[in-house]
A and B are shown apart, each in its own frame.
Chain A
Amino acid sequence: MEKLILRRVDRNNEEMILNFGPQHPSTHGVINFIVETDGEVLRKAVPDVGYLHRSIEKIGEVTGWHGFMPFTDRIDYVAAMFPNEGYATAVERLTGIEVPRRAQYLRAISCELARIASHLVSLGTMSMDIGAFTPMLHGIRERETINDLIEALCGARLTYNYHRIGGVAFDLPEGWKERTLAFLDHFDKFLVEFDRLISFNEIYVRRLANVAVITGKDAVDYGLVGPNLRGSGVDWDVRRDLPYGAYDDFEFAVPVGQGFKGTVGDCYDRYYCRCLEMGESSKIVRQALLQLPEGEIMAPKVARNLKVEAGEALSRVESARGEMAFYVVADGTNKAYRVRARTGSFTAMGIIESASPGLMIADLVALIASLDVVAPEIDR
């Protein structure tokens, strides 16, 4: 990066250094890209992260085990269920707490709803970055309904703080199951409409197909996860391959990029994988609601002032932005010795520098949007 800035002084070529961000409409938060362009064509785009660093991992060492839960919401506030789930799962593995089956189902339901909401934001903002404003608001409209449902479930619309070590905070409110099933019926139709509105739009397809192709090998090498990895044709989903919680019980497909409109691993594959995933999530929520077992929602006897034996544990959950890992280390006190969150957006930022040369400025916007990076998740 310093090299780029220094070159600005003594260059006598046709290139231009451009600060793409941190206050740019399509960087999806406070991210900066230092972009070297020759006219409209990029030579290179170097991501500059860290504008949104809030020391969340350090906070985890200061608060108690339970007290860290609300802070995990802020790791990814577009889909706050997943850091909740990841952290809770890690601490449960560390302490050996058994989560009741009903609580596991509720976790799956809330997480899959959050995944749909997150993908709606992602796809909507992506279409807005490509220049179509209407699909974004249609996505936001559906997300509102999900927000209403989750608000009825846990009282919050953005930072949910719903999961607990050993279970979840609240049981389903009355009539929630019917409301959710009605929403899912509507939502399955909406997905078809959304495809017709934007996914198969000729201009949209041409803007995304064959743009910024990331091969499967590159995706694995750079540590891409989730829809970004699957968009490159790598068939890996933690929910299916390393099942946790209640995911054993559900039948769902894992959409993998297959060059829907162009090459495997282009922006369109990443986009369309998310579209298909929303349908699968809808299936999971429906199954979970119909098979929901009765019982407790919290494990018995989880101490308020939890003291954990020295040790360490790792949890891996499939977040909306891909595999999210929580690594917790305990030293026998009532506070964590170390909490570490591994998030998908951070690694996704890493590949932009190598994927960007030769793209145009408009393609860089599409690439950033298709990787679905969320600023707080990059920096934590």
Chain B
Amino acid sequence: MPRTPKLPKLSPRAVVLLTLALGLGLPAGLFGAVLVLSPLAQPDFFVRAVLGHDPATWPHAHLVYGLVMALLAFMLINFGAIISGMTVWWEMRVSSRMQSRIGYNRAGAAGFFQWIADAVKLLFKEDLIPAEADGMLFRAAPYFVMTGFALTFVALPFGESLIAADLNVGIFYLTAVTALVVVGILLAGWSSNSKWALFGGMRSAAQVVSYEIPAGIALMVPVLMSGTLSMQGIIRAQGAWPWQWHAFTNPAAAVAFVLFFISQLAEGNRTPFDLPEAESELVAGYLSEYSGFRFALYFLVEFGNLWVMAAISATLFFGGWQVPGVGPEVYAAAKGAGAVPALGWWGLQLLSMVVMVAKTVVVLNVIVWVRWTLPRMRIDQMMNLCWKFLVPSAFVAFVFTLLWQLLVARAPALGLVTGVVLTGAFLVTLILFGRQVKANIAAAGDHVDLTNW
């Protein structure tokens, strides 16, 4: 007689505690690892400060380089995977609130472990390769997607000193590696040997390649304003207060943010640009023939990309990790003279990380709202939007910024005045938005209720 394995039966309180422990512990552990590893694991620093050798002359330096790189890569890929899973959970909870349904509530309190259960289920599924498919390309495609995703974390900032590698071509590098995703999608579409997958692959190629142009031009606006391509450099060029952010110090940058946001939605295949996998038209688009772990990889990347998108937006336009009142001299002073920085410095790093993560999560949440609100565009409308509206607008914003920078160089107060005005306008918009939402809810005979999460 087959025996079913017995799972320990937990009391509801234990479930809640376990969920809280893991739900808070996992991100805390991840961010703690980022906090500790990314400054300590800079190879030169590590060799000099922790091992006490001169990296230029010490013969085993390359070994340390390799080891540290592997460690950081392992940690960041895990970060991507786990954040992606938790985004799925968050998205499902938000969407179930928006759609008057219960949503995830089985595995763990508030269904928090659902993403783990889903991932485990997908791991155990048969890895099916259609008989008529081009086997090698079909197998290879998910890895292209995964590579394009994982590589972004190299140049993604988390805090003042918390970045795997502060490349001097940071944002350029990011746009380059994210383009690798489309190769994987195109391969998947072609190699599946299914007409639906082919449609999805072609749509995705057209869409992602087109939308990279307005995105690329739009992100030149903050680059122009800060005079560097380095992610940390762009953040350092902004201040901590909203009126010092790129998005608010230049009217064209506010426009550029909107253009960049829309283009990123399209590049990430998110509603209203989810044509490549439009389930009501193309069954599942380029994913139609995938199953098991390969399917899970695509989903991991799709949801993990939300974090990447949001973090890039926060970096370029919303001041990144800048903490109010904490300038570069404060960090330098707190670091102390020792090889390993003093405790206060770690506290400041933690603070900067909290600011960065908070901004990222806000943008991420907006992306989730958009997905569950808007319908999908048609392919010709999607192309029209890109080439007839976004590209010209991005060019105008770009040229305007060139002139604006000349103007600001003459009259530095202009930036501050614009910042204050635009921040005020933004706040007023937020308040009006909130009031409209409240009025709409009241008109439907309902009321705002946040108790039954």
Q: How far is the CB of A345 from chain B (nearest CB, A)?
A: 19
**A361 touching B281 by the CB < 8 A rule?**
yes
**B381 touching A128 by the CB < 8 A rule?**
no
Answer yes or no: B429 CB below 8 A from chain A CBs. no
Q: How far is the CB of A282 from chain B (nearest CB, A)?
A: 14
Answer yes or no: A204 CB below 8 A from chain B CBs. yes
**A203 touching B375 by the CB < 8 A rule?**
yes
Residues 442-453 of chain B, each 1 if its beta carbon lies under 8 Å from chain A, else 0: 011100000000
A138-B99, A196-B440 as given contacts; A133 in contact with B372, CB under 8 Å: yes
Residues 356-385 of chain B, each 1 if its beta carbon lies under 8 Å from chain A, else 0: 000000000000000011111111110000
Q: How far is the CB of A364 from chain B (nearest CB, A)?
A: 8
**B443 touching A203 by the CB < 8 A rule?**
no
Residues 265-302 of chain B, each 1 if its beta carbon lies under 8 Å from chain A, else 0: 00000011011001111110000000000000000000
**CB neighbors of B among A129-170 (8 A):** 129-134, 137-138, 141
A137-B101, A186-B445 as given contacts; A361 in contact with B374, CB under 8 Å: no
Q: How far is the CB of A22 from chain B (nearest CB, A)?
A: 12
**B373 touching A129 by the CB < 8 A rule?**
no
Answer yes or no: A190 CB below 8 A from chain B CBs. yes
Answer yes or no: A365 CB below 8 A from chain B CBs. yes
Answer yes or no: B121 CB below 8 A from chain A CBs. no
**A362 touching B378 by the CB < 8 A rule?**
yes
- B377 CB contact (under 8 Å) in A129, A138, A203: A203
Give chain B residues whose Cβ lies under 8 Å from the Cβ of A185. Answer: 445
Answer yes or no: B62 CB below 8 A from chain A CBs. no
In the bound complex, CA of A109 to CA of B374 (Å): 35
**A132 touching B373 by the CB < 8 A rule?**
yes
Answer yes or no: B98 CB below 8 A from chain A CBs. yes
Q: How far is the CB of B93 from chain A (nearest CB, A)?
A: 14
Give chain A residues whose Cβ lies under 8 Å from the Cβ of B195. Answer: 16, 18
**A203 touching B199 by the CB < 8 A rule?**
no
**A132 touching B375 by the CB < 8 A rule?**
yes
**Chain A interface residue bracket vs B:** 35 or more
Answer yes or no: B11 CB below 8 A from chain A CBs. no
- B99 CB contact (under 8 Å) in A18, A133, A361: A133
In the bound complex, CA of A44 to CA of B280 (Å): 19
Can you name the residue of chain B whose Cβ is closest to the Cβ of A369?
B280
**A189 touching B444 by the CB < 8 A rule?**
yes
Give chain A residues whose Cβ lies under 8 Å from the Cβ of B4. Answer: none
Answer yes or no: A363 CB below 8 A from chain B CBs. yes
**B375 touching A26 by the CB < 8 A rule?**
no
**A127 touching B375 by the CB < 8 A rule?**
yes
**CB neighbors of A among B81-114 (8 A):** 95, 98-101
In the bound complex, CA of A134 to CA of B271 (Å): 12
**A365 touching B444 by the CB < 8 A rule?**
no
**B374 touching A132 by the CB < 8 A rule?**
yes
Answer yes or no: A8 CB below 8 A from chain B CBs. no
Q: How far is the CB of A184 from chain B (nearest CB, A)?
A: 12
Residues 176-194 of chain A, each 1 if its beta carbon lies under 8 Å from chain B, else 0: 0000000001100110110
Residues 1-30 of chain A, each 1 if its beta carbon lies under 8 Å from chain B, else 0: 000000000000000101000001110000
In the bound complex, CA of A360 to CA of B380 (Å): 9
Give chain B residues whose Cβ lies under 8 Å from the Cβ of A25. Answer: 279-280, 283
Answer yes or no: A291 CB below 8 A from chain B CBs. no
A131-B272, A137-B101, A196-B440 as given contacts; A362 in contact with B278, CB under 8 Å: yes
In the bound complex, CA of A16 to CA of B379 (Å): 18
- A26 CB contact (under 8 Å) in B199, B275, B281, B444: B281
In the bound complex, CA of A206 to CA of B382 (Å): 12
In the bound complex, CA of A189 to CA of B445 (Å): 7
Can you name the residue of chain A whose Cβ is closest to the Cβ of B206?
A40
Residues 346-372 of chain A, each 1 if its beta carbon lies under 8 Å from chain B, else 0: 000000000000001111010000000
In the bound complex, CA of A235 to CA of B65 (Å): 79
**B378 touching A134 by the CB < 8 A rule?**
no
Can you name the residue of chain B whose Cβ is closest to the Cβ of A185?
B445
- B100 CB contact (under 8 Å) in A16, A128, A137: A137
Residues 36-77 of chain A, each 1 if its beta carbon lies under 8 Å from chain B, else 0: 000010000000000000000000000000000000000000
Q: How far is the CB of B127 from chain A (nearest CB, A)?
A: 22
Give chain B residues whose Cβ lies under 8 Å from the Cβ of A18. Answer: 195
A189-B443, A203-B272 as given contacts; A362 in contact with B283, CB under 8 Å: no
**A362 touching B445 by the CB < 8 A rule?**
no
A26-B281, A362-B281 as given contacts; A134 in contact with B444, CB under 8 Å: no
Q: How far is the CB of B96 from chain A (nearest CB, A)?
A: 9
Answer yes or no: A292 CB below 8 A from chain B CBs. no
- B444 CB contact (under 8 Å) in A24, A40, A192, A203: A192
Q: How far is the CB of A189 from chain B (nearest CB, A)?
A: 5
Answer yes or no: A307 CB below 8 A from chain B CBs. no
Answer yes or no: A342 CB below 8 A from chain B CBs. no
**B280 touching A365 by the CB < 8 A rule?**
yes
- A198 CB contact (under 8 Å) in B95, B375, B443: B375
In the bound complex, CA of A366 to CA of B373 (Å): 18
Give chain B residues whose Cβ lies under 8 Å from the Cβ of A129. Answer: 280-281
**B444 touching A193 by the CB < 8 A rule?**
yes
A131-B274, A138-B100 as given contacts; A207 in contact with B378, CB under 8 Å: yes
Answer yes or no: A201 CB below 8 A from chain B CBs. yes
In the bound complex, CA of A356 to CA of B378 (Å): 16
**B375 touching A207 by the CB < 8 A rule?**
yes
Most chain B CB within a 10 A radius of its CB, from A127, A133, A360: A133
Q: How far is the CB of A368 from chain B (nearest CB, A)?
A: 10
**A193 touching B100 by the CB < 8 A rule?**
no
Give chain A residues whose Cβ lies under 8 Å from the Cβ of B274. Answer: 131
**B100 touching A363 by the CB < 8 A rule?**
no
**B374 touching A201 by the CB < 8 A rule?**
yes
Give chain A residues whose Cβ lies under 8 Å from the Cβ of B374. Answer: 131-132, 201, 203
In the bound complex, CA of A363 to CA of B380 (Å): 11
Most chain B CB within a 10 A radius of its CB, from A18, A134, A189, A360: A134
Give chain A residues whose Cβ lies under 8 Å from the Cβ of B372. Answer: 133-134
Can you name the residue of chain A whose Cβ is closest to the Cβ of B371?
A133
Q: How far is the CB of B33 from chain A (nearest CB, A)?
A: 36
**B375 touching A204 by the CB < 8 A rule?**
yes
In the bound complex, CA of A186 to CA of B279 (Å): 32
Q: How far is the CB of B202 from chain A (nearest CB, A)?
A: 8
Q: How far is the CB of A272 from chain B (nearest CB, A)?
A: 15
In the bound complex, CA of A193 to CA of B372 (Å): 16
The 6 tightest CB contacts between A and B, nearest first, are: A131-B376, A132-B375, A137-B99, A26-B280, A193-B444, A130-B375
Residues of A within 8 A of B (CB): 16, 18, 24-26, 40, 127-134, 137-138, 141, 185-186, 189-190, 192-193, 196, 198, 201, 203-204, 206-207, 360-363, 365
Show 13 residue pairs from A and B whose CB-CB distance is below 8 angstroms, ordered by the A residue: A16-B195, A18-B195, A26-B281, A40-B203, A129-B280, A131-B376, A131-B377, A132-B374, A189-B445, A203-B376, A361-B199, A362-B379, A363-B378
Q: A40-B379, A192-B443 are in contact. List 14 more A-B contacts (CB 8 A).
A: A18-B195, A24-B283, A26-B280, A128-B280, A131-B271, A131-B280, A131-B375, A131-B377, A134-B95, A134-B373, A186-B445, A189-B445, A361-B282, A362-B376
